[in-house]
Amino acid sequence: MNVTIGAAVAAAVLFIPTLCFGKDAKTYKHASEYQVAILDQNLRVATGNDITLARTGTDAKLSGGGQGIHLLHTDAGDYRVEAPVNKGRSFGLALATAMANSNQPYWAQQQAATIHNKWFMDSVQPGTKVLFASECASPNRKHPNDTVRCEFWFPDPDSTTHEYATTGDFTPYTAGDSSNTTKTANTLCGTGKLNATTEAQICPQSAPTALAPITAPPAPADAPVPASLPVPQQQ
């Protein structure tokens, strides 16, 4: 009996690692949805209601507060990504602000600021490729090119499983260049109302009419030499 129990325990011990290794290793949750974008610019925007959490006193002086904004470019359009929100501190500050406002008249009440974390995107150089996943709101059917709000997930370069979750928006590209030159050119070109420099830049230039090449008239063919008449013989 003891031998049977020992054999069962040994088999279970050998089987458990097999189950562990058989499972897929934990990785980024949205890995299958990642796409590539080019970082155009990192900005620090002073909104008045957003604060970037500084790690040191010097950092606080250099950053100047505000909110980190990251502009990404793709073939489909442009993304505006906001730095991740520190939910714990933002909630605590909102609670403290609400308690302070309870003893103040309406006109003197303050709005709680949203606290953002610094993250790896703050150090990424413009022109660098960035991986991310996004889920954006459906565009308006009548205005499909309007900007929509999005949620984003960025893989943490210092981890094999963690993703930064944040929000922002997406502006799709429109068909054509959306400029005002085409319609204006159609209206003003050839009217003489544009100055010569502008007209040369926006108006289609008609190609000069090619002149037909002048050809010399064909040389007259050599006149045939008349056959010599027979000379009459004297009798």
Average pLDDT over residues 15-27: 55
- Spell out where the chain has E strands: 35-45, 50-52, 67-73, 77-82, 114-116, 129-136, 148-155, 163-172
Q: Which of 46-60, 109-123, 148-162, 177-191 has the highest mean pLDDT?
A: 148-162
Q: What is the pLDDT of residue 24?
A: 59
As a whole-number percent, the residues of the chain with pLDDT over 90 amount to 31
Determine, yes or no, domain membership for 221: no
Among 1-10, 174-183, 201-210, name the one with the lowest average pLDDT: 1-10
Q: How many domains, in total, are found in the chain?
A: 1
Determine, yes or no, domain membership for 205: no
Determine, yes or no, domain membership for 177: no
Determine, yes or no, domain membership for 123: yes
Residue pair 137/168 in contact (Cβ under 8 Å)? The answer is no
Q: What is the pLDDT of residue 219?
A: 64
Dihedrals phi, psi of 86, to nearest 5 degrees: -85, 95
Which amino acid does the sequence have at 202?
Answer: I
Determine, yes or no, domain membership for 215: no
What are the tens digits of pLDDT across the range 103-142?
Answer: 878 777 777 777 778 899 999 999 999 999 999 999 888 8
Q: What is the pLDDT of residue 109?
A: 74
Domain that holds residue 89: 31-172
Query: Is the pLDDT score of 16 beyond 60?
Result: no
Determine, yes or no, domain membership for 183: no
